[in-house]
Amino acid sequence: MNLYARLAKQSPRDAALVAQLGSLQVQVGKFDAGLKNLLKAARLDPRSHEIQHNLSVAYRAAGRLDEAIATINRGLRLAPDNADLIATKADLLRMQGQDDDAWQTIAPAIDSGDRHIALVLSYAWLCGRRGCADKGIELLSPLAADESLRNAHRIEANFRLGELLDRQERYDEAFEAFSRGNALIRTVHDPDGFTADVTRVIEAWSTQAAQAVDSPTVRSDVPIFIVGMPRSGTTLVEQILASHPSVAAGGELRNIMNVAGEMSGSLGGIPTCPPPGALSRPALDRIARNYLRELRRIGPIAERITDKNPLNYLYLGLIDKVFPAARVIHCVRDPMDTCLSCFFTDFAGSVAVAADLSHLGRFYRDYQRLMQHWNGVVGVPIMALQYEDLVADLDTHARRIIAHAGLEWDDRCLRFYETKRVALTASVEQVRRPIYTSSVGRHAHYESHLEPLRRALGGADR
C-alpha cells in the first residue's frame, strides 16, 4: 500500500492508480481515506464503470449500503450488461433482505446463458434461499473443479457448493467441497507460534503487572465489546443489542486490533496484546480518544455502541485498561460446532486458522486458556453467554444481555430479525430469521470426518 501511496502522490491525476490506492486502504479498514481516494478517482474518470464498481464495494465494506447501491446503479448506467456490476447489485440487494429484487436483477443474465463467474456465485447464493439448490449445484460444480479460474473464485465456488450440498443433507459431498475450498487458501497459520504468543501474554499480564498500570483520564461506558471465537454467536448478540433504541451497532471494528499491532507487532497476521509496561496513561488516553471518535461516527448520540470483532478477546487486558467502565459479552458455543462452522466459512483468507481442522482445535484450546486467564485478571465486567442457551431461551438471555449493557428492557430486542440494519459478516442471512436451533449439534452430521479436530481439541470438546 505504501508503494501505491507514493505512486499516487507522484501521479495524482492517474484515476486508476488513485482508485487502486483507495481500494487497498478500504481492505485494511481505513474507510475514510479509501473512500476519499475512490471518490477522487471517480471525479477524475467519471466514465469508468470499473471505478464505480470499486467505489460501491468500498461503500459496502464500510456498511453504507444505500450509497453502495446508488453507486452500482451509476456503474450500470455506464455498462448495463457488465456481469460484475449485475452480480454486485444482486449481492447488495440480498444483504438488505430484498431477495426478490436480487433475483430479478440476476436471473435474466443466467437465463440468457451468461456463465460469468461473478454471476454464478451470486445466483447460487440466492438458489439456496429460493429452494432451487439443484440448479445452483449444477452451475457451481464445474467451476469448483476448474483449475483455470482465479484461486479466489475457485475457493468461493467450493464454499458456495458446500453450503448448497449441506442444505440438501448431502453431508459427505458438502464436506469434500468445503475441504477443497480450504485447501486452496494460501494464507498460513502457525499454531506453535500462536501458542507461544498466548503463553507470553499470560506471563506478561500477571495480576501484579496489570494492577501497576495507571488508570486513564478518559473514561467512558459507551463501548460494548462482544468477543469469543468466530462463529460463536457474536452477530446474533449484536443484532439483539442493536434492536434497542439506545444502542448503535459498530460491527467488526479493527481499531483495537490495529492498536495492538502497532504496539506489539504480530505473528501470522494476528497481533498480540501489548504488555502492561507499554500502557502509560498518555497512551491509554490517546487510544481511548481515537476509539471513541470512531464510535461517535457510528452512533453520534447512542448510549452504547457495540464492537463485535470476536478476536478482541485477545486484547482484553488492553481493553480493561483503556475502558475500565466498558462491558464485555463473551460468546461461547460448543467447541465442535464452533470449529466446524469456522471450517465451513469463507473468510476470504482473513482467518487463516479456519482452513485446517487440527489448527482450529489447537486455536480453540489457546483461546480457552487465555479467556480463563483474563477472567482472573481484568476488572471490566465480562458476561459469559452460551449460544445454545440463548437459542433455547431467547427471552431470558436477551434480557440478561440488555441488563448487562446497563439499559432498560425493550421488547424490540426479541424481534431482532425485524431490525433494519445490515450485518456485514458471514451471519448476514441468519440474523434476518427468528431464532432457530438447527445449528446446535451440527457437527453430528460430519462426525466421520472430524477425528483430527476432536484430537486437536484434546478434551476441550467435553
pLDDT in tens, 344-368: 999 887 889 999 999 999 999 999 9
Percent of the chain whose predicted confidence (pLDDT) is above 70: 95
Label residue 267 by pLDDT band (50, 70, 90): very low
Contact 457, 336 (CB under 8 A): yes
pLDDT of residue 7: 67
pLDDT of 118 strictly over 90: yes
Phi, psi for residue 178 in degrees, rounded to 5: -60, -40
Number of other CB atoms surrounding residue 101 within 10 Å: 15
pLDDT in tens, 143-194: 999 999 999 999 999 999 999 999 999 999 999 999 999 999 988 899 999 9
pLDDT of residue 103: 95
Which of 413, 417, 422 is closest to 304 using CA atoms?
A: 413
Judging by DSSP bridges, how do beta strands 266-267 and 270-271 pair with one another? antiparallel
Contact 307, 253 (CB under 8 A): yes
Contact 127, 164 (CB under 8 A): yes
Cα–Cα dist 295/240, whole Å: 18
Distance of CA 23 to the CA centre of its chain: 18
Angle (CA) 97 342 162, round 5°? 70
Average pLDDT over residues 375-391: 97
- Amino acid 61 reads A
DSSP string, 160-205: HHHHHHHHTT-HHHHHHHHHHHHHT------HHHHHHHHHHHHHHS
pTM: 0.89
pLDDT in tens, 181-227: 999 998 889 999 999 999 999 999 999 999 999 999 999 999 999 99
pLDDT of 440 strictly over 70: yes
Number of other CB atoms surrounding residue 205 within 10 Å: 24
Which of 208, 416, 235, 225 is closest to 319 using CA atoms?
A: 225
- Domains, the chain, ordered by start: 191-457 (3.40.50.300)
Label residue 18 by pLDDT band (50, 70, 90): very high
pLDDT of 268 strictly over 80: no
Higher-confidence position of 64 and 349: 64
Label residue 426 by pLDDT band (50, 70, 90): low
For cell 445449528, name the residue: 439
pLDDT of residue 264: 74
Grid cell listed for 232: 460463536
Which residues lie closer than 8 Å to 235 by C-beta, 6 or more apart?
308, 423, 425, 427, 428, 430, 431
